[in-house]
Structure 1
Amino acid sequence: METFARVLLDRAGDGGTGLLFEEERHTWADVVRESRRRAALARHLLTAGRPPHIGVLLDNVPDYVFWIGGAALSGSVIVGINPTRRGRELAHDIRHTDCQVIVTDTAHAALLDGLDTGVPPGRVLRVDDPGHADLLASAKHADLLAPARHTGLFASAEPVPAAEPQPRDPLLLLFTSGSTGAPKAVVCGQGRLAAIARQAPAFGITAGSVTYAAMPLFHGNAVMANLAMATGAGAAVALRRRFSASGFLPDVRRYGVTYFNYVGRALAYILATPRRDDDADNPLEVAFGTEASARDMADFAGRFGCRLIESYGSSEGAISLRKTPDSPPDALGLPPGGADVAVADPATGEECPPARFGPDGELLNGDEAIGEIIARRVTFEGYYRNPAADAERLRDGVYWSGDLGYRDADGFFYFAGRGGDRLRVDGENFAAAPVERILSRWPPVVMCAVYPVPDPRTGDQVMAALELDGLFAPEAFAEFLAGRADLGTKWAPRFVRIVPAMPLTATNKVDKGPLRRAGWRGGEVWWRPGRELRYEPLTDDARRCLEEEAAAHGRRL
């Protein structure tokens, strides 16, 4: 089993284009050289005897790629810090993963102001600082196996010894969220990322390809479904700082993009841009991703003249489902290579019976057919410093995904929602508990509950139920949310239900079951029609529009 370090070093003499970014062009040889410089710097900055963890808080810029490469070569670990988290939650992510160093820039460094991250100011590196290039030069970059030396600014440091990384060594910590609200950092090792890198041919990625990395690099989709495979094939990677629907097609044409990876509603946002007669006049060949609706997939392929490969998977890497040519439109597909994937009852562990459908495609036996998607005989590298979460996922040799699904008589899998209190909005995973803690700070709140409701196209939307001391004041609520520094960018509720009394269990815990079943139907419900923090009553006409949009995309709300 090889390491991603060796995959990267295969590119050391490659004069072909490796990175395209705005007006910059870097060959693969440049990428390896810059990665070696950061590997040397990492060995000097990291303290031996502590986890060699480097947090990266950046947009998609070349330095992010160089630091991933530097970590691979030095045997250190990149922690992808999610910039949509704020305040105490952001600080907790950094402390939880034992970051010794944070790589950021001036804009993102402002997010750290006043936070107790456990990282000394002198170990917060700003890549746009004029002195950063001098810092890299002072590290005296060495070859992968050459010992680090004390020089210049690092004369008093005790560098981490250089050693050949091994396949089982961790390389990435990629955050997800659990139902308790505690962050979970998925471990991705050198060997796993190397194996992913060698899958490039299956996705049509060759040395002549240009991949488009617009999804955030702190997310597993961008690293695994783009950067790793491009490295393995020697393809060029065109970086976009942040995803832009309006910038998508101009970028595809500008860089000659042949491959694009996506998550969640990215396709929907692109399809919402004004249509032009020449949209199909572009070099794009393949788009690969997750969670697009059947309608969006068909519309995207037709409009831009490319092939779509839709899949189901996660950063944990334990389960993968892939659409096949004969997959039903709303199905996730089948497990590749005969992997042992099933749907099981979480209470009994027994496999659920196949789904039965009515004449209009409605699921007739959801109560017995829907269970948790599981896999047997898989490799799961676990979560960093979270044995409880490890035990929840892997039980008696069986990996429990936490996602709900069902399977038809032909073996095709379907997605039925996310178990527990997890939400996935615009491709971003997070938990309800941190949002609840923030909403509970609004003075009128007596009790609150946050839970997912289906998005009309894909994924979830955030819904909150509020029991208030008085009437709901939408302007005051919006003002409160706008002033919360620790409110993630995807966390503001899209729907708000006002309840006279919160439903409780016999043990006086909030019972979210009735709230989830009601969704946004009936009662006093407010919503945000757009991205602005502006709430208005959800009218019957608005409800009908949501239902019609969902039906058009094959979703039932």
Structure 2
Amino acid sequence: TSAAVTHLLQDSMCCAFRCIILRTLVVIRVCLISCCLTISMKQSGKFCLTFDKGKVFWARELIMRRRRPLFFVLDRFLEQTEAHPDNTFIVFENESYTYACTDKRSNKIANALQSHAGYKGGDTVALFMGNEPTFLFTWLALAKLGSPVALLNHNIRTKSLLHCFNCCKAKVLIAAAELKEAVEDVLPSLIEQGVTVLLMSKNSDTPGIQSFSDEVEKASDDPIPRSFRSHITFKSPAVYIYTSGTTGLPKAAVVNQNRILTALAVLSSNGVVSSDVFYLNLPLYHTAGFVVGFIGTIETGSTIILKRKFSASQFWDDCRKHNVTVIQYIGEVMRYLCCAPKKDNDKDHKVRLAIGNGIRAEIWKEFLNRFGNIQIREFYASTEGNVGFLNYVGKIGAIGRVHFFHQKLFPYTLVKYDTERDEPVRDANGLCIESRKGEPGLLVSKITNLAPFSGYAQNEEQTERKRLHNVLKKGDLYFNTGDLMRIDKDNFIYFQDRVGDTFRWKGENVATTEVSDILTICDCLKEANVYGVQVPGHEGRIGMAAVTLKKEVQFDGRKIYNHVVSCLPSYARPRFIRMQSTVEVTGTFKQMKVKLVEMGFDPGRIQDPLYILDDNAKSYVPLTAQIYHAIISGSTKL
């Protein structure tokens, strides 16, 4: 009971009033237990009353939040370490690390950093590193020191890298040894800002970049006092995870301690336990890899099989080698696995559960037919969003199911959306119009204390763009997910498409404005309108650009190829280029995309010259009808 209720009970109130309060408390306790129960029917026709593991966790989390001192994700890791010190936590290539070993490694990093002259307790630190155990050790170390961590995409370079670093106002950059050249490209700006740059290597011959591995090896592995993080509250930022959002350069979504504590439930609520072996091959700088894969296993006490990157050819061999029981996916991962050559031992594995998002219905069916009876738990969520869904019944193609209590706790709705004007449809009173069942609509979720929207670091303009005012009544405030959904007659909800200027390719969000800006830096291009087009047999949309040339300049496919390869990661490079005399714009000078997207890259429909990126020729070459038909037929993969 709260202090207020305790005071009331001890006060000289009448006996009847004390009885009412006590009965109320009993009812609340019974309701909490009842919420954790699920009624199901056995094959015999008898009803069965069972505990729902996910609901049990949420009830337990309410208790955790009452603990003093405050309880965070790190504390759960320390509990697991104390309870099971010798259990294997991480397996990476030919090495394995127990919970106790991981704890000590993170202590060494923390002790080395807190004694470093360039670091002060609580400073924000940017982590520029690929998938490796040191990434996890370093995050735990920084959590012990009470420092928020910015998770930088190790694929970005130059302008984007510097932008992402500046978003979080980090004082320290910790980078992997193999990323030294990328750091050197932005080093003058970092030095000018007084940033301490630490490289996870034994030595560094570049002035301004300090080697850090040697300091870590010499440091003590003594535990870090809790006082170092005593300033942390549930609202304190835990990590900054970058998302391209709808426009512009990547934005740093603020993920606070409360949100990351909630994320502990992701795996446990799906029945994952300590004996499970989790295969983590998605990037740790992404929400999927970091929150679901890493944070989720901290709660369950499971073992992580950590991979540098996804490999379709190694996937099932790894699962067999390490007795993997739980895998994680995004839509592209499942498609790659289904497109790999079939083998006689495709069903020879111990995987029982797949958790992820973005799988298409036809791929879902093909995956189950080929690889066996694996339970697929499709969910919907976003890094910065305040609403999520889980397809807990396994309905193929759905991302979840709408139900009364979910909608009451986290109010959301679908509203009609004008894709031409790129905005919600409003009535005569200026309010949004809710979509009917079966109709697609923009998913919006009410911003409340229970479902907050923390926004983007150092970017109030983009934060405000995600806020939608006057949705169902004057003065209300909703989060704009930027996603079109559809709810069927059975209340299953399905993802339809993304709106705005972002498309998804190879599991990565691509911001068209950023790609357009980079294209127009090339000295032969005047304007570039970037958008995503669908390709049969591929998830998401692939990049295409409608461009105009500067006066008296010829199209130079090799020069443009060299430019995009040096400035953009592979997934963001426009695969197709369409030459135009002018770029169409609206009355408010917004670039027109809808018609361009509809026409795609078919040379039979488009009179403008078309080009395709050719890695073998290291140039953009003419897109012929023969090349087009090879892509459409599937004989040429993109």
State TM-score, norm by structure 1.
0.85
3-state SS of paired residue (2:345): coil
Deviations 1:69-114 (A, max 9, x none): 1122221111111122121111111122112222222211211113
Amino acid at match of 1:277: D
2:483 equivalent to 1:403: yes
- Seq. identity, %: 24
Cα distance, 1:416 vs. partner? Answer: 3.0
Query: Unaligned stretches of 5+ in structure 1?
Result: 148-160, 357-368, 550-557
Residues 145-544 of structure 1: pairs in structure 2 closer than 5 A: 145=225, 161-163=228-230, 165-305=232-372, 306-325=374-393, 327=395, 329-335=396-402, 338-339=406-407, 340-345=411-416, 346-348=424-426, 349-354=431-436, 356=438, 369-376=439-446, 377=448, 378-395=451-468, 396-456=476-536, 457-469=538-550, 472-482=555-565, 484=566, 486-521=567-602, 522-523=605-606, 524-528=609-613, 535-540=620-625
Greater gyration radius:
2
Cα distance, 1:547 vs. partner? Answer: 5.9
Is the alpha carbon distance of 1:83 and 1:264 closer, same or farther for their aligned partners in structure 2, counting shifts above 3 Å?
Answer: farther
In 1, the alpha carbon distance for the partners of 2:169 and 2:382 equals 23
> Greater relative contact order (Cα 8 A, min sep 6): structure 1 or 2?
1
Is the alpha carbon distance of 1:381 and 1:39 closer, same or farther for their aligned partners in structure 2, counting shifts above 3 Å?
Answer: farther
Cα distance, 1:419 vs. partner? Answer: 2.0
Cα distance, 1:450 vs. partner? Answer: 0.5
Is the alpha carbon distance of 1:317 and 1:513 closer, same or farther for their aligned partners in structure 2, counting shifts above 3 Å?
Answer: closer
Is the alpha carbon distance of 1:78 and 1:455 closer, same or farther for their aligned partners in structure 2, counting shifts above 3 Å?
Answer: farther
Cα distance, 1:538 vs. partner? Answer: 4.1
Query: Unaligned stretches of 5+ in structure 2?
Result: 1-64, 66-70, 204-210, 417-423, 469-475
Residues 48-197 of structure 1: pairs in structure 2 closer than 5 A: 52-115=123-186, 116-118=188-190, 123-129=196-202, 132-137=212-217, 139-145=219-225, 161-163=228-230, 165-197=232-264
In 2, the alpha carbon distance for the partners of 1:251 and 1:169 equals 38
Cα distance, 1:403 vs. partner? Answer: 1.8
Q: Which residue is 1:151 aligned to?
A: none
Q: Which residue is 2:81 aligned to?
A: 12
Is the alpha carbon distance of 1:397 and 1:7 closer, same or farther for their aligned partners in structure 2, counting shifts above 3 Å?
Answer: farther
In 1, the alpha carbon distance for the partners of 2:74 and 2:375 equals 31
Amino acid at match of 2:384: E
In 1, the alpha carbon distance for the partners of 2:480 and 2:312 equals 35
Deviations 1:98-132 (A, max 9, x none): 12222222211211113145268983222232664
Contact 1:80 1:173 in 2 (8 A): yes
Is the alpha carbon distance of 1:247 and 1:255 closer, same or farther for their aligned partners in structure 2, counting shifts above 3 Å?
Answer: same
In 2, the alpha carbon distance for the partners of 1:418 and 1:46 equals 46
In 1, the alpha carbon distance for the partners of 2:554 and 2:478 equals 49
In 1, the alpha carbon distance for the partners of 2:167 and 2:281 equals 27
Residues 24-43 of structure 1: pairs in structure 2 closer than 5 A: 24-43=95-114
Contact 1:176 1:430 in 2 (8 A): no
Is the alpha carbon distance of 1:492 and 1:165 closer, same or farther for their aligned partners in structure 2, counting shifts above 3 Å?
Answer: same
- Aligned residue pairs: how many? 521
Contact 1:352 1:370 in 2 (8 A): no
Is the alpha carbon distance of 1:52 and 1:105 closer, same or farther for their aligned partners in structure 2, counting shifts above 3 Å?
Answer: same
In 1, the alpha carbon distance for the partners of 2:589 and 2:287 equals 38
In 1, the alpha carbon distance for the partners of 2:588 and 2:90 equals 57
Tell which deviates more after alignment, 38-47 or 284-293. 38-47
Tell which deviates more after alignment, 240-249 or 122-131. 122-131
Cα distance, 1:542 vs. partner? Answer: 5.6
Cα distance, 1:545 vs. partner? Answer: 6.4
In 1, the alpha carbon distance for the partners of 2:583 and 2:492 equals 39
In 2, the alpha carbon distance for the partners of 1:215 and 1:540 equals 36
Cα distance, 1:238 vs. partner? Answer: 0.8
3-state SS of paired residue (1:265): helix
In 1, the alpha carbon distance for the partners of 2:143 and 2:120 equals 18
In 2, the alpha carbon distance for the partners of 1:475 and 1:117 equals 30
In 1, the alpha carbon distance for the partners of 2:101 and 2:140 equals 11
Is the alpha carbon distance of 1:317 and 1:260 closer, same or farther for their aligned partners in structure 2, counting shifts above 3 Å?
Answer: farther
Amino acid at match of 2:165: I
Deviations 1:330-352 (A, max 9, x none): 44332576233321132425243
Cα distance, 1:183 vs. partner? Answer: 2.5
Q: Which residue is 2:3 aligned to?
A: none
Cα distance, 1:506 vs. partner? Answer: 3.2
